[in-house]
Structure formats: C-alpha cells, structure tokens
Homo-oligomer: A and B are copies of this chain.
Amino acid sequence: MDSTDWALLTELQADARLSYSELSRRVHLSPPAVAERVRRLEQTGVITGYHAHVDRAKTGWSVLAMIRMSCYGPRCVLRDPQVAQWPEILEIYRITGDACSLLKVAAGSMDAFERVIDQLAPYGRPSSTMVLSTPLNWRPVTSADPESLDTIEHE
C-alpha cells in the first residue's frame, strides 16, 4: 500500500468505471502496471467491490429510516439470515448499548414502512427514527492518518 495504490483507490472510489488507460495517465504508470496493482488490491480484499449507486427516491423508495432493534434473545434479527434478504433492509449493524442492532430501512411509503415494522416486531421491539434528508450519503476512504485528527485535515 504505497502512495500509488492510494491514488488508485482514490480514483476508483470517485469513479469505478475509469479505464486502466485513464488510470495510468492519472497515476503516471503504464496500463499493465495499473491493471496488476488494481487486481492485487482486489485479491487482497482492500477493494471489496465496484457498485453503481442508485437514487432511491427516483426508483420509488422515498422513505428512509433507522430502526434500533431490542430483540427477544434467541429470536434476534441477527440470528435470522432471512432478514438480511429483505429488499427493504439496506444495512444491518450489531451495536453496543440497549439495542442489539441498528437497521437502515427503505420503503415506498409510510404505509409500506408500517408493514416493515410489523414484520420486524416478532423479533423484538423496534424503535424507529425517520431520515428527513441525507446531507452526506457516502464518503470515500481516505489516506489521511486514521490516528491523527489535525485541524489541517479538516481545512
């Protein structure tokens, strides 16, 4: 993981469809060298995938919510692999605190969202918070030192 690898990660996080040729121009390396580095980043698991991001509101999923689940022991959502398959469940986090998990959930309407809650209720007590807007949707991993928090980094 040298600075060239980081440059490639930065470019591919910003635009995953860049060609090896274009990448080679941006990091000042030959296309085969770029291809080899990228494949190594994929194989070592640094790059976990390349994904098109889709506007959920434009595709009918206009309701977004965070649901903290306080589960009934063995019936926990974390123990049922089926829950992770529901199209409404976008992300699942196991967390510290009173609740055992936090779910990011999408639905087409409040009516549909209510039905998701009803489906979750058998697993535990759901506590919902609606998302009004998303000022920051996603941030790429940066090469900034994860240990430091210089104000310079934030300028």
Contacts and interface: CB of A to CB of B under 8 A. Distances in A.
B50 A53 contact: yes
Nearest to A108: B146
Given A46-B54, A51-B50, A146 B89 contact: no
A16 B51 contact: yes
29 contacts: A9-B59, A16-B50, A16-B51, A44-B58, A45-B58, A46-B59, A47-B55, A48-B54, A51-B53, A59-B146, A60-B145, A62-B146, A66-B102, A78-B135, A87-B139, A87-B142, A87-B153, A91-B136, A91-B139, A93-B133, A94-B132, A94-B135, A96-B130, A106-B146, A108-B145, A108-B146, A111-B147, A112-B147, A116-B149
Nearest to A38: B52
Contacts of A88: 149
Interface string A78-103: 10001011111111111111000110
Nearest to A154: B86
A29 interface: no
Contact of A154 (B45, B82, B106): B82
Contacts of A44: 58
Interface residues of A, number: 76
- Give this chain's copy count: 2
Interface string A2-28: 000000010011111100000000000
